[in-house]
Structure formats: C-alpha cells, structure tokens
Amino acid sequence: MPVLRLLLILSLLLPFFSSAQSAQVAIIIDDIGYRKSDSQALYLPGDISYAILPHTPYGKSLALQAKAQNNEVILHIPMEAKNGKKLGPGALTSTMNEEGIRQSLTNAFLEVPFALGINNHMGSKLTELYQPMAWTMQFLSERNLMFIDSMTTSASQAEKIAIHFGVPSLHRHIFLDNKLEYSYIQSQFEQLIRDAKREHKVVAIAHPHPETIAALIKLLPLLEQNHIQLVPISALLSNKAIEQNQRLSAED
C-alpha cells in the first residue's frame, strides 16, 4: 500500500480511535424520593443520572423534574440485604416468586414509566442469588431496559446474569460519599479521575446529602479540567455495546 494512502487512512481513523479511548464518567445520584431536600441534587450541572426510589413521597415528582431537565432517570429498586435492614416499598426479596417480582417491578414502572432501567438499593443478599435475579433480568429484557449493578457485594451475580439475558448492563466502580466529609468526597473524586483515565469508562454513585451536593458543585469542574467527559449512563452503555460488537467483528 502506498505510504500516502496509508497515512490518509490513518488520519481518517484517528478521530474514531481517539473518541473510543476518551475518558468518560457517569455519575448516578441514588436514594432520590424520601426527602423534599433531595430536589437540591437536581441542580447539579451536567449530565447527571438520577435513581428514584419507587413509591416514595417525592420520587415521582422529582423524576418528572429530572426528565424535564433532560437528565436520565432509572429506578432504584430495593433488594434484600444480608443485614436484614428494612427495605421500603417496591422491594424484591428472596421469598418472592417470579409473579411477585414481576408485579413489584411493574408497579414501580407504572409510577415512573419513562425510567430507562434499574439499579439495586442494598441487595447484598438478593444479587448473589441466581433465580430472583434471572426473573428480574427477564423482565428487563422484555422491555429493553438497562441494569446497573450497585455492587453492594463483591459476590454479586447480577451483571453476569443481565448479560446472559441480553440486558444492557454496567456496574458501579466507586462510591463517592460513604463518609459525609469534604476531604473524603474529594479524595474519592480524585480516585474517580484516576480510574477514568485508566479505564476510560467509569460509573460513580453518590447520594443527595447536602454535604455531597456542596462537594460535587466544587468538584465537578475537575472532570473537564482533566479532559474527562461527564455523560448520561446510557452513553456508557452505548459505547460498551459498540466496543463489544467491534471485538466480535475482529474475532470473525
């Protein structure tokens, strides 16, 4: 192949490779719905995604507000934890049969029908169990919905089962606010930046605490300063699907 032609091809492909390797972060704000003050999270700048707890006092109205702002919304479905902690309405447990799980999920989506999928609230017990997660993923697959594994247990089977059922899925890489101290949130955010530069596609989860919102307002500009794009959760899923198709094509 002539050198000039090779250079021309490489120049055409360069933007594609650059885009494919660009660092992107999706930030999900969990636990939206119980407190009126959760609305403060909706004032965060950029493509923040919001996870709404079903059947909560402010969940539906805040979901509608987020949608009106063109922010992506998923449902934050309570799932059984090992510590036996109270789950709240719309929860999925290990004692439920398939009909019960499907009905509970149906009711949640009736309240927020534009939600793009779910992630788990707690769930350290349920996400380790195949059958209830298989029923959950079958429900999501039938409706072309996504699943984000909050990874509340390192033994979670949820994302693997989601992939088996063809459900677009990702998992949480880092929690930003396990401690409500600015120094801790800042440290976690700096780790997020390092992870994004290394992994290129990273999911972070935070919560609508006043301390978290105040910290994120200060810290979010660091993403652009580090050439990291803040994207809605669906953008990471789209990129993941493209990359998977490219790998499959290369193997053929």
Dihedral angle sign, alpha carbons of residues 244, 245, 248, 250? negative
- What global pTM score does this model have? 0.87
Tell me the pLDDT tens digit for each residue of 162-172.
999 999 999 99
Rounded to a whole number of angstroms, the distance between the first and last alpha carbons of the chain is 24
Q: How far apart are CA 239 and CA 217, in angstroms?
A: 27
Tell me the pLDDT tens digit for each residue of 6-21.
444 444 444 444 444 5
Domains of the chain: 24-251 (3.20.20.370)
CB atoms within 10 A of CB 65: 15
Q: Identify whether the C-beta of residue 176 lies closer than 8 Å to the C-beta of residue 205.
A: yes
φ and ψ at 184, to 5 degrees? -70, -50
Residue 238 pLDDT level (bands cut at 50, 70, 90) = confident
Structure tokens at 206: 């935070």
Q: Identify whether the C-beta of residue 189 lies closer than 8 Å to the C-beta of residue 211.
A: no
DSSP SS3 for 101: helix
